[in-house]
Structure 1
Amino acid sequence: MADFVREVMTPGVVAVRPDASLVEAAQLMRSQDIGDVVVADGQQVVGVLTDRDITVRAVADGDDPAVVSAESVCTRDPVLLAPDDPVGAAVALMRTHAVRRLPVVEDGLPVGMVSLGDLAEAQDPDSALAQISRAEPADRDAR
């Protein structure tokens, strides 16, 4: 079982500028096969934008994703972790703040993300959530 966030996090961060459109962010998510991006102003984490944020906070309201900015829809001032924080701290923060993903920051710079799936895989590899997290994405061309 992992002790520290660095052992369970997904290294590397995909980021967009605060003024990036939701279309830009969604295209980046699709090309990277991810469900979230960090919204960063320079090297400062401003927020986290998920595919669900785009859907529920913009598209469902009829907003034009080509003109709405990532910053206006993201979860601002996200809870952050450090790579040397205990895995238990990540679990507690997710529970307390009802979030599924947390950016990992070292020396002020985003270095990774830890997700609920990452934690499930580390703590109970045989759980349904861990198995789903490991599964390859569905073939888009098969639809």
Structure 2
Amino acid sequence: MAPLRTIMTRDLVTASKDATLKEVAALMADNDIGNVLFMDGERLAGILTDRDIVVRAVAFGRDPGSLAVDHASADPFTLDADTEIAEAAAQMGEKQIRRLPVTEGGKVVGIVSLSDLSNRTGGDADQQALEGISTPTL
């Protein structure tokens, strides 16, 4: 199989650490995406997904004007762009993640989602990841 670089999305949407939940949600809507990255210089500091907004903020009545970064996953798991797709799918399943930032030389250069695995690999890789994500942790 091919490396992640062949299926990753290269157009990354980032937000500053002072962006609010409402602003990040608007970025997601405007760009038709389900995640926004928070950067500290060139280092990935966090990722916020549409699911995070619902589960970590809305479900608890958080103010849409509160800082989005406070609800983000800090220091997200990443893989190198040369990682084989099958290995990435296995890691996504094991770690139960739906979106995987992709790095090159320590710098974020792309992102791979479950839909990327499905749409760009013929569906084999996403099945492995989805099985791991769907398995409840004890």
Q: TM-score band (shorter)?
A: 0.7 to 0.9
1:119 partner SS:
helix
Q: Which runs of 5+ in 2 are unaligned?
A: 128-138
Q: How many residues align?
A: 125
1:40 partner SS:
strand
Which residue pairs with 1:85 in the alignment?
83
Give TM-score, length-normalised by structure 1: 0.80
1:52 partner SS:
helix
Give TM-score, length-normalised by structure 2: 0.83
Q: Which residue, 86, 96, 105 being the options, matches 2:94?
A: 96
Which residue pairs with 1:13 in the alignment?
12
1:10 partner SS:
coil
Kindly report the root-mean-square deviation, in angstroms, between the aligned alpha carbons of the 2 structures. Answer: 1.7
Q: Residue 104 of structure 1: CA displacement?
A: 0.8
**CA–CA separation in structure 2 for the residues paired with 1:108 and 1:18:** 20
Which residue pairs with 1:65 in the alignment?
64
**CA–CA separation in structure 1 for the residues paired with 2:59 and 2:69:** 17
Letter in 1 for 2:98: R
Deviation string for 1:93-141 (max 9, x for gaps)?
Answer: 1111101100011122221110111111233259xx9xxxxxxxxxxxx
Deviation string for 1:13-70 (max 9, x for gaps)?
Answer: 111122211111111111111010111122110111001111111111111011x212
Q: Could you tell me whether the CA contact under 8 Å between 2:117 and 2:123 is conserved in 1?
A: no
Letter in 1 for 2:55: V
Deviation string for 1:72-95 (max 9, x for gaps)?
Answer: 101111110111111122101111
**CA–CA separation in structure 2 for the residues paired with 1:95 and 1:81:** 13
Letter in 2 for 1:106: E
Runs of 4+ in 1 over 6 A off after TM superposition: none
**CA–CA separation in structure 1 for the residues paired with 2:114 and 2:92:** 8
Identical pairs, percent = 44
**CA–CA separation in structure 2 for the residues paired with 1:80 and 1:54:** 21
